[in-house]
Amino acid sequence: MAGKPVLHYLNSRGRMELIRWLLAAAGVEFEEKFIKSPEDMEKLKNDGVLMFQQVPMVEMDGMKLVQTRAILNYIASKYDLYGKDMKERALIDMYTEGLVDLLEMIWSPLLCPPQEKDAKIALLKDRTVNRYLPVFENVLKSHGQDYLVGNRLSRADIHLLEILIYIEELDASLLATFPLLRALKTKISNLPNVKKFLQPGSQRKPPITEQCMKEIRKIFK
């Protein structure tokens, strides 16, 4: 019997959080080995387990998987969260790539110089309500189904839920004019595996703070 996947990353959200969400939604238990210092990161590089000398890295099914999208594609395929055919997979890919673009914008205020932070947040709010969320609201409206693709749970729904929670953390009023997205958020949040992941004490990580960013920069110096 194969062991649990082992996730190598910092004890923070970052690029591994998408992977944690997807494994949790699939009902897959996993272990984590946290990178706590520059020395920990250097050891992984020197051990030759990081193909491109970057994390995240996931040990799973006898492989050492790297590159976030490749890891997510593997997990989604293995646990039937990637559509029933090529057309559904294409839709899932389009939706998730759009969500990744929005996620990059959500991270940007933490990564920019302090004097640019307010402008980054203002742009993020504008793009959230005028570019990204309308797409997903209209998708749900167009087919009248409970999920984004094929009327069943896919990685696109899981990633969307994660993003909606991040948006709510930023400013809950941004979701006010998107009733179908709020309904989807409630529905998926109450799926047993997801509900468990949302409980206190799970392996879900809290929002990244300025202090956390300082620690991250030290490790990836």
CA dihedral 166, 131, 194, 28 (to 10 degrees): -100
| Predicted confidence (pLDDT) per residue in 81-92, tens digit | 999 999 999 999
Q: Maximum CA pair distance of the chain?
A: 53
> What phi and psi, each to the nearest 5 degrees, are found at residue 65?
-85, 135
Q: Are 203 and 7 in contact (CB under 8 A)?
A: no
| Predicted confidence (pLDDT) per residue in 20-72, tens digit | 999 999 999 999 999 999 999 999 999 999 999 999 999 999 999 999 999 99
Instruction: Report CA 65 to chain centroid distance, whole Å.
Output: 17
Mean pLDDT for 6-30 is: 96
Asked whether residue 1 carries a pLDDT value surpassing 50, the answer given is no
Among 76, 95, 99, 75, smallest CA distance to 149 is for 95
The pTM of this model reads 0.94
Helix (H, G, I), strand (E, B) or coil at 26: coil
Asked whether residue 193 carries a pLDDT value surpassing 60, the answer given is yes
Provide the token pair at 138.
């209209």
Provide the token pair at 87.
């057309």
Among 16, 15, 18, 28, smallest CA distance to 160 is for 18
Helix (H, G, I), strand (E, B) or coil at 7: strand
Task: List, in sequence order, every residue forming a beta bridge with 31; answer none if it has no partner.
Answer: 6
